[in-house]
Every structure is written in C-alpha cells, then in structure tokens.
Homo-oligomer: A and B are copies of this chain.
Amino acid sequence: MTARTRPFTAEDHRARMDRAARTAADAGLAGLLVAPGPDMVWLTGYTPPADTERLTMLVLAPGREPVLVVPTLEAPDAEHAVGASALTFRRWTDGTDPYAVTAKLLDHAGRFGISDNAWAMHLLGLQRTLPGTSYASLTDALPMLRAVKDTAEVELLAAAGAAADAAFEEIRAVRFAGRRETEISRDLADLLRGFGHEQVDFTIVASGPNGANPHHEAGDRVVGDGDMVVLDFGGLKDGYGSDTSRTVHVGEPTEEERTVHDLVRAAQEAGVRAVRPGAACQDVDRAARAVIDAAGYGEFFIHRTGHGIGVTTHEPPYMIEGEEQPLVPGMCFSVEPGVYLPGRFGVRIEDIVTVTPDGGRRLNDTTREMVIVE
C-alpha cells in the first residue's frame, strides 16, 4: 500500500530521517530499524523491487549517518532512490548473514524501534544475533512519527481526496439496479485511476445485507431496487492516500433506512466537530459513538471511528477509546462511524479530516445527504 513519494526531494528525505533519529533518541531508543513499506518510502523514497525474504533494512541511530542494509543485487535500484544521497549502503550477498551485517551497526545492548510490518523472520534474526537488544514496534514506540503531516503532505492528501470525490460524483450517476457489486466496484476502481490514482487499495460495494459486513468488498450479488449500498473506496494518488465512504440508496428508502442514515450522518458530524488541537483521539471516537449510543444503536457500531492516513491508507493515529494522544495540527485521519444491522443493511459515512488550529477541515466534500441512485 505504498508508492514513491515523488513530490519530495533528497533534502526532504534527509530532514525526515534526521527528525526520526532525534525523535528516537528523545524516546530513549538506541535507534530505528525501518523495513520496506510505508516507513521506508516516507523516510528514503525507496521501495525494493519486491518485499521478500532478503533483508533490506534502514538503520537510523542518533548522531550517525543513515545506513541502508541492502541485498547486493538490489543495490543498483536502492542507489536510485530519491533519498539515496543521504544514505550509506551496506551490501550483503546471498549466502552471507545479513543479521551479522546489521548487528555491526547497532548498540549491542540497545532498545530499538522497528517497523510494525518488518518480517518476524528478520526480527528473530536480530534477536538471535544480538541477545542483549530489545525491540518495540514503531506503533508502540513512536506512533506519531509520520502522523503530523507538513503542508505539502496535506496538499497531496487533499488532492487524493478531491480525486476520490470526483470518482463519487461520477459513480452516483451510473446505474446500480440490475448490476453486480463487482461491476460497480470495477467502475469505481477505473474512476479512481482515471482521476489520477496510481494504486487502488479497495473499492467496497456492499449492497443490502452485505452492507452489514463492514469489510465486505464486492461480490456477485446483483444490486436491486430498494437496496442500501455502502461505497468505501481509496488508494494512493502521487504516493498519498484517499479513503472515503458514502451510502447510497436505490430508489426510495424506507423510514427506518432514512433514520439510520441520518443518525450516522449526525454521528459523523459530531466526530468531525470534536476535532481540535489538544483534544484526545478518543474524544473523536466518543463524540461519534455518543450519538449512536443515545439513539439505541450502539451495539451495531462495531469498529473504531477512524484511522490515520498518509503514505498508507491505514496508520496511526487511531480514533479509538483508550487512545489519549492529543490531536496536533497536521494530523490527518478518517472519521467514519457506521451502523450495521445484521442480515439487513449497513450505513457508513467517512471523510478524511485534517487538524487545523481552528478545528477539523474535511478533505472530502461530497454531500453527506443520502444520495438516491437508479
């Protein structure tokens, strides 16, 4: 779920690596071990040709130059990464021990932050090679490392959001009744690509009872007149994510369908209104959940209210009970309450929101009223 962060320069990447190393030192860590994926692409601009059993790892330690441990046969690619000029390369060749190579760069009694998605095999290799070291996942140790976006990043997220909105404006005009979910899903994916997404992560089309499964993707069900249809779609445009949901209705809704839709809309509005610097992440969840609870639908809102977004479509901060992290201007995340009535239908409404000094600013702006489709 990552792509090259093309708009950024070697200097941008160098500054991010410097900041990450300083943040690690402030947190009492001896360094950071960064695996291929969103952390690495954000820090260095580098994505290996494939994420395989061959170890590729960025080592950031306070006061030292960043080092990329890389398989010899992938080094030529790594040397072309946008951030390569800030990196020293340590090549290792098939048949040698990459953990021994990495260990030479590490404090043998240090505690390190490691990318959430680093392979367990690689973590075990390091633990075996350096039994005096200890590790914490980046989400545990430095959850906010990538959470506060700079102006250029917010603009990229806004552009991705605008592209997703444009896709919604077109999809609402297509025919739903009589077509399979998978067909509409494919239309949505084509629209996202057409509006500039280089990567489509999901185009959920969940009609009727399928809408009651929040992670239903799209199936063979033929959408019918009278169906509620949850649309939830996103991906990466110029390396930054979109993720938005709207729930549409084929023909006239029942009173209950309208009631539940209005309720979710009110909950989403309450969640967005709770966004302001200094509020806790959990306050956003509580604000949205309180509306649904008060209406007696609390047991049908079965997921957290939101998640961060950046070079991935799912990252910290999480808008969830127990997350006391204060909101800071530049944070970007989804606000997406839902109500799921098993066997019947579901409703979810989702916008990406960025924290500004004055409160939350939505990066999606299509109507949140129930859209009637054909």
Query: What is A's interface to B at a CB cutoff of 8 Å?
Result: 1, 35, 49-50, 52-53, 72-74, 76-77, 93-95, 114-125, 135-137, 139-140, 201-202, 213-217, 302-304, 314, 320-322
A121 touches B137 (CB 8 A): yes
Q: If the complex has contacts A201-B50, A202-B50, A302-B72, are A77 and B213 also in contact, measured as CB distance less than 8 A? A: yes
> Closest CB-CB distance, A47 to chain B, in whole Å?
11
**A73-B215, A77-B216, A120-B123 known; A139 and B53 CB under 8 Å?**
yes
Known A-B contacts A95-B320, A201-B50, A202-B49; A74 and B119 likewise in contact (beta carbons under 8 Å) = no
Contact across chains for B303 and A73 when beta carbons are under 8 A apart: yes
Closest B residue to A214 using CB positions = B73
Contact A217 B93 (CB under 8 A): no
Evaluate whether A95 and B49 lie within 8 angstroms (CB atoms) in the complex, with A73-B215, A116-B120 already known: no
Q: Give Cα distance in the complex from A136 to B302, angstroms.
A: 35
Instruction: Check B77–A314 contact: CB distance below 8 A.
Output: no
Residue of B nearest to A93 (CB): B302
Q: Which of A72, A73, A114 has the most CB of B within 10 A?
A: A73
A213 touching B76 by the CB < 8 A rule? yes
Residues in B whose Cβ lies below 8 Å from that of A322: 95
A-B residue pairs in contact (CB < 8 Å), sample of 29? A50-B314, A52-B314, A53-B139, A53-B314, A72-B302, A73-B213, A73-B215, A73-B302, A73-B303, A76-B215, A76-B216, A77-B213, A93-B302, A94-B304, A95-B304, A114-B124, A115-B120, A117-B119, A117-B120, A118-B120, A119-B120, A120-B120, A120-B122, A120-B135, A124-B135, A124-B136, A124-B137, A124-B140, A125-B137
Interchain nearest-CB distance for A351 vs B (Å): 19
User: Which residues of B are found within 8 Å of A202, using beta-carbon distances?
Assistant: 49-50
Q: What is the CB-to-nearest-CB distance from A133 to chain B, in angstroms, rounded to a whole number?
A: 12
Find A121's partner among B125, B139, B217, B321 (CB 8 Å cutoff).
B139
Say how far A54's CB is from chain B's closest CB, in angstroms. 9
CB distance from A363 to the nearest CB of B (A): 21
Bound together, the chains give a CA A320 to CA B97 distance in angstroms of 13
**Distance in angstroms between the alpha carbons of A94 and B322 in the assembled complex:** 11
Q: Is the CB of A321 within 8 A of B35?
A: no
Q: Which of B95, B214, B304 lies in contact with A321, CB distance below 8 A?
A: B95
Q: Given the complex of chains A and B, what is the CA–CA distance between A263 and B72 in angstroms? A: 23
A118 contact from B72, B119, B140, Cβ within 8 A: B119
Besides the contacts A76-B215, A77-B216, A124-B137, what 5 more A-B pairs have beta carbons closer than 8 Å? A53-B139, A72-B302, A77-B215, A116-B121, A117-B120
